[in-house]
Amino acid sequence: MIVAIRGKLAKSTPLSAILDVNGIYYEVNIPVTTAERLPAIGAETFLHTLAIYREDSQSLYGFASASDRDFFKLLIEKVSGIGPKIALNILSRMSVETLKAAIDSGDVSLLSKCPGIGKKTAERLIVELRGAFAKIAGAFQSEASLSQSGTQSAASDAVAAIVALGYKLADADKAVRSALSKLPEDASTEAVIKAALRA
């Protein structure tokens, strides 16, 4: 099983990266959130990966963090009706931290804004994944910038409020994360929203 790959970035798009590993070129499917963190063409790149083998094809999926990869694996293995394409769409729209908060709080409205996710699928996500995060809790805690439960709640509420104003989910999530990096850990939801809208 290929669990990670390191090589020079030869080409990238919002949903794929081609890595040169000692003269062998690997095409890796990635979410937009990982594409945004890729280095310049020619630079060394490291991705956490999951290989999926099927009777007529084999695909490699890559992620900037191990928690992103593990969440992707949970989505496709635990939730009926969600395959790799929809799982990538979900991770392209929201960070793992925001998704985890939405699932833990039962936020059907926020989850159903992801492409390919209707109300029924969002409800299945919540039922089938709530509590499943214990397996990767260490990765969430070490990698998440939203480390305090109060901050997570404020972040989730702020993202939902900004989306309600008409902003795209990915833009709202990015603005909130940027705002949180400049605010104290006990910042209120209102303060996070105001700072995010100024970002």
Q: Please give the full DSSP string across 32-83, using - where no structure is assigned.
A: HHHHTT---TTSEEEEEEEEEEETTEEEEEEESSHHHHHHHHHHHHHSTT--
State the pairing for strand pair 16-21/57-63.
unpaired
Q: Provide the CATH number for the domain around residue 77.
A: 1.10.150.20
Q: How far apart are CA 37 and CA 47, in angstroms?
A: 11
Whether residue 191 sits in one domain with residue 170: yes
Q: What is the pTM of this model?
A: 0.65
Whether residue 116 sits in one domain with residue 130: yes
Whether residue 131 sits in one domain with residue 81: yes
User: pLDDT at residue 80 above 70?
Assistant: yes
pLDDT tens, residue by residue, 32-61: 999 999 999 999 999 999 999 887 888 999
Count of the separate structural domains present in the chain: 3
Q: How far apart are CA 115 and CA 68, in angstroms?
A: 18
Whether residue 111 sits in one domain with residue 52: no
Choosing from 47, 64, 81, the residue where a domain stops is: 64
Whether residue 137 sits in one domain with residue 71: yes
Q: Provide the CATH number for the domain around residue 34.
A: 2.40.50.140
Residues contacting residue 50 through CB under 8 Å, at least 6 positions apart:
3, 60, 61, 63, 69, 72, 73
What's the domain range around 185? 145-199
Whether residue 152 sits in one domain with residue 192: yes
Q: How far apart are CA 62 and CA 46, in angstroms?
A: 9
For 135, counting Cβ atoms within 10 Å of its Cβ (0-12 exposed, 13-18 middle, 19+ buried), the class is: exposed
pLDDT tens, residue by residue, 112-130: 888 888 898 889 888 888 7
pLDDT tens, residue by residue, 152-179: 567 767 777 787 777 876 777 788 888 8
Whether residue 140 sits in one domain with residue 74: yes
